[in-house]
Chain A
């Protein structure tokens, strides 16, 4: 097993900057690969899932990465799709005290962009900014309730 050089690791934990992302150090795809994100955040299954196969067919030169909040992965597995998952608003509300969700999700999103370096983002439902706002609202609500 070959390990990456230690110095190249944990840039995000130590404060990554645009240069880290740009030079592809923290990336899962090769320099000539192209990726795109399809955001399906906090949307009902019926609205978006039928589109999975169609989108993969429509963008054959891209590695289409579905970023969603579902826990039933079967539609993606059956379509042989690549996907990433973010916690749903329901989960965040339920475990509001677990961690600082807005900060964690900001870091998580940044890491996902570095990981895939998507040159295109399309969405069904909210975009990442809107999703972050909803997360912040959920957390504020939970704080007030407690």
Chain B
């Protein structure tokens, strides 16, 4: 029977290095053939513990719908599975694979032994796991002669070693070659190298490193893409004056290479470079490339080989002989064209027996797999709004389900999602310890019936009951989306971070002023752009929005949004603000009342000039506004600032809240809004309201707000949920996976 898919790529696509870029290049070449049915099976392998997203160059193919993303529970067949990197199957998968392959190719992107002779993986064990779960027909292909040699004539117990190496390919159009480039000038020679910032990618010997990279030669500029503090750790505090360090930037490599006369790459003796994609990229751009002799087996005549001490002489030779330099450039480019052009991807598949133009059998419709969005109570709609920002952007094959302690749960229901109410102990007037026991039972029950593919939690407090339930489902993908700007009182909850598969911190415009407990955690979590439920550009046009509110030309529309008042009393301030605003005869106030709050009393004197309404999400209509007065909760703050609405922020300073004061203060000092502390700045009320009503101030404020980046982290988190919920886990060691 014909297979459902022709080729399926199987890999941990979160790595930022050469494996991901090699796969992206292959995908690009293959996806140009629309008759080819390509799948992607994501694996969460054990090597990468931090919550990195899928590499953007691979993610693009999912977003554009050019590959079929396989999910746990699916049932697919394919002709050929390409398993990239042995780490992918170092452990047995934690669930049955959603794929059966007629043949699989395990591509060894890493030597079996490193430069120091240490074993890097157990090939027999990896192959056994693949044969047990994916295919009966396994081939093993090294990516280079270096990797092949590292196998030391090993005869695998499962599968057989392929005759050909599975070399890296690249799209030559992305690596431009300039045939007219002027030869290097003897007084200003530019050499460069790029690699991820890792000490192993540099010679451990200082003298060798300095010789290979022409230290302190005034005629030579050495550009290092992927420098960092590790270099001073390695070689001491005084690095050569002619070394120009640049941060690692995979996106900027072609431009970087375009400025070089020579490329050099020398690394630690402890490191065995499996292939050297960075070298291939330099060769593709036609750069004269100087390497240690060990690379000759991989790159042949495309590069020039010299010991570190001889790099200077090699460069001198080419500088003195521009024709030789030009001939070597052409040789490099030609090598890339003949051996590594992306167009070879098709041909290579054919040699592994791929049949073309087969007609797959019809497939039953996929069941939408549940993603459980769990949130704490909060005081308003903040947690639910954050989660709906993500849920609204999930692919159609996932079904968001909301389980919340929030009294505003109705907003998720009205948005079309199934909802479950799990009351918080405060709402039940219950003892927290007893409640935790019951809450754990309730959540456990929901999970065991619902069988979600992921649990995404939004809240600062990780309750004991939740922690215990997470322990009961260790294979479930779990995500903690927690905001920054914590108070010290929240610190103990960070101890629960390792209960989750991943932690995401939605970006904060005022993040640099955040010195709370979460700041030190940033290297271990994934920080996104600020998250907005509705993209500012998706709001209703101004004229339509003003008509929606019944506003007339000339009226200055000011929104008043002081939250639910559940934990911070602002009623006196409300009265004073309204009186102050109404001092301007052009002002019309739109008081937008929280879904939870009782409708406030209408104020005497405000008749006809103040409209009270419940509206969610009110941001959709916010282009109608000229200004706003409101609290500085995460959602409203970022909506106002990124939505270009000049706002007088009144921070809710209740001790259990995040630091709204930080946000409001940041906005004021950056000219992006105003701040009024309800209890500390009574005397400033009139002045601040008058500034808000000053048209020149608002125009300047809008101008500055328009310069802020428009990215919305909600899309990124939705992609993260979609990808992680599709991943097969091989990251858990069997010894930790079963009760003992």
Q: Interface residues, chain A, CB within 8 Å of chain B?
A: 1-4, 6, 8-13, 25-30, 63, 71-74, 77-78, 82-85, 87, 91, 94-95, 97-100, 103-104, 107-108, 111, 115
Shortest CB–CB separation between residue B476 and chain A, in angstroms? 14
Shortest CB–CB separation between residue A136 and chain B, in angstroms? 16
- Please give me the 7 A-B residue pairs with the lowest Cβ-Cβ distance, nearest first: A85-B421, A3-B464, A71-B410, A104-B449, A95-B418, A4-B437, A28-B430
Q: Interface residues, chain B, CB within 8 Å of chain A?
A: 367-368, 370, 399, 401, 407, 409-410, 413, 418-421, 423, 427-431, 433-438, 440-442, 444-446, 448-451, 463-464, 467-468, 472, 492, 596, 598
Inter-chain residue pair count (beta carbon < 8 A): 105
Query: Quick one: given A28-B430, A82-B428, are A9 and B441 in contact (CB under 8 Å)?
Result: yes
Q: How far is the CA of A20 from the CA of B552 in the complex (A)?
A: 65
Contact A108 B433 (CB under 8 A): no
Contact B438 A26 (CB under 8 A): yes
Q: How far is the CA of A67 from the CA of B446 in the complex (A)?
A: 18
Q: How far is the CA of A86 from the CA of B441 in the complex (A)?
A: 16
Contact B448 A28 (CB under 8 A): no
Shortest CB–CB separation between residue B674 and chain A, in angstroms? 32
Contact A97 B367 (CB under 8 A): yes
Tell me which of A12, A91, A100 contacts B441 (CB under 8 A). Answer: A12
Q: Could you say which residues of chain A place their CB within 8 Å of the CB of B428?
A: 28, 82
Nearest residue (CB) in A for B370 is: A98
Q: Could you say which residues of chain A place their CB within 8 Å of the CB of B401?
A: 98
Contact A28 B438 (CB under 8 A): yes
Contact B450 A28 (CB under 8 A): no
Q: How far is the CA of A137 from the CA of B37 in the complex (A)?
A: 42
Tell me which of B420, B437, B464, B598 contacts A8 (CB under 8 A). Answer: B437
A12-B441, A13-B472, A99-B449 given. 5 additional CB < 8 A pairs? A3-B436, A28-B435, A71-B409, A94-B418, A111-B441
Contact A10 B440 (CB under 8 A): yes
Main secondary structure of the interface of B (DSSP, over half): helix
Interface centre among B367, B418, B598 (most CB of A within 10 A): B418
Tell me which of B419, B434, B435, B444 contacts A71 (CB under 8 A). Answer: B419
Interface centre among B370, B421, B437 (most CB of A within 10 A): B437
Nearest residue (CB) in A for B598 is: A78
Nearest residue (CB) in A for B421 is: A85
Contact A74 B444 (CB under 8 A): no
Query: Quick one: given A9-B437, A98-B399, A99-B450, are A111 and B464 in contact (CB under 8 Å)?
Result: no
Contact A72 B410 (CB under 8 A): yes
Q: Could you say which residues of chain B place their CB within 8 Å of the CB of A9?
A: 437, 440-441, 444, 468
Query: Quick one: given A4-B436, A99-B449, A100-B449, are A111 and B442 in contact (CB under 8 Å)?
Result: yes
Q: How far is the CA of A59 from the CA of B492 in the complex (A)?
A: 40
Q: How far is the CA of A106 from the CA of B584 in the complex (A)?
A: 60
Shortest CB–CB separation between residue A1 and chain B, in angstroms? 5
Q: Could you say which residues of chain A place their CB within 8 Å of the CB of B419?
A: 71, 87, 91
Interface centre among A1, A8, A82, A108 (most CB of B within 10 A): A1
Q: How far is the CA of A100 from the CA of B446 in the complex (A)?
A: 11
Q: Could you say which residues of chain A place their CB within 8 Å of the CB of B446?
A: 104
Interface centre among B435, B467, B468 (most CB of A within 10 A): B468
Q: How far is the CA of A63 from the CA of B138 in the complex (A)?
A: 66
Contact A103 B449 (CB under 8 A): yes
Contact B492 A1 (CB under 8 A): yes
Tell me which of A13, A26, A63, A85 contacts B437 (CB under 8 A). Answer: A26
Contact B410 A13 (CB under 8 A): no
Q: Could you say which residues of chain B place their CB within 8 Å of the CB of A74?
A: 596, 598
Q: How far is the CA of A10 from the CA of B472 in the complex (A)?
A: 9
Query: Quick one: given A2-B464, A78-B598, are A13 and B445 in contact (CB under 8 Å)?
Result: yes
Interface centre among B420, B429, B435, B438 (most CB of A within 10 A): B438
Q: Could you say which residues of chain A place their CB within 8 Å of the CB of B464?
A: 1-4
Nearest residue (CB) in A for B423 is: A84
Shortest CB–CB separation between residue B304 and chain A, in angstroms? 64
Shortest CB–CB separation between residue B397 and chain A, in angstroms? 13
Shortest CB–CB separation between residue B391 and chain A, in angstroms? 14
Contact A6 B468 (CB under 8 A): yes
Contact B441 A27 (CB under 8 A): no
Contact A73 B410 (CB under 8 A): yes
Q: How far is the CA of A21 from the CA of B399 in the complex (A)?
A: 34
Contact A98 B418 (CB under 8 A): yes
Query: Quick one: given A12-B445, A98-B401, A107-B445, are A73 and B407 in contact (CB under 8 Å)?
Result: yes
Tell me which of A4, A13, A98, A103 contacts B433 (CB under 8 A). Answer: A4
Tell me which of A82, A99, A100 contacts B429 (CB under 8 A). Answer: A82
Contact B441 A11 (CB under 8 A): yes
Q: Could you say which residues of chain A place their CB within 8 Å of the CB of B410?
A: 71-73
Nearest residue (CB) in B for A70 is: B410
Q: Could you say which residues of chain A place their CB within 8 Å of the CB of B440?
A: 4, 9-10
Q: Could you say which residues of chain B place their CB within 8 Å of the CB of A2?
A: 433, 464
Contact A27 B598 (CB under 8 A): no
Q: Could you say which residues of chain B place their CB within 8 Å of the CB of A97?
A: 367-368
Nearest residue (CB) in A for B408 is: A73
Nearest residue (CB) in B for A90 is: B413
Q: Could you say which residues of chain A place their CB within 8 Å of the CB of B445?
A: 12-13, 104, 107-108, 111
A-B contact pairs, 11 of them (CB 8 A): A3-B467, A4-B433, A4-B440, A11-B441, A28-B428, A74-B598, A87-B420, A95-B399, A98-B401, A100-B449, A107-B445
Q: Could you say which residues of chain B place their CB within 8 Å of the CB of A72?
A: 410
Nearest residue (CB) in A for B495 is: A1
Nearest residue (CB) in B for A25 is: B437
Contact A10 B444 (CB under 8 A): yes
Nearest residue (CB) in A for B409 is: A71
Q: Could you say which residues of chain B place their CB within 8 Å of the CB of A28?
A: 428, 430-431, 434-435, 438
Contact B448 A71 (CB under 8 A): no
Shortest CB–CB separation between residue B489 and chain A, in angstroms? 13
Shortest CB–CB separation between residue A54 and chain B, in angstroms? 20
Interface centre among A2, A11, A63, A95 (most CB of B within 10 A): A95
Q: How far is the CA of A29 from the CA of B431 in the complex (A)?
A: 8
Q: How far is the CA of A87 from the CA of B420 in the complex (A)?
A: 7
Contact A13 B444 (CB under 8 A): yes
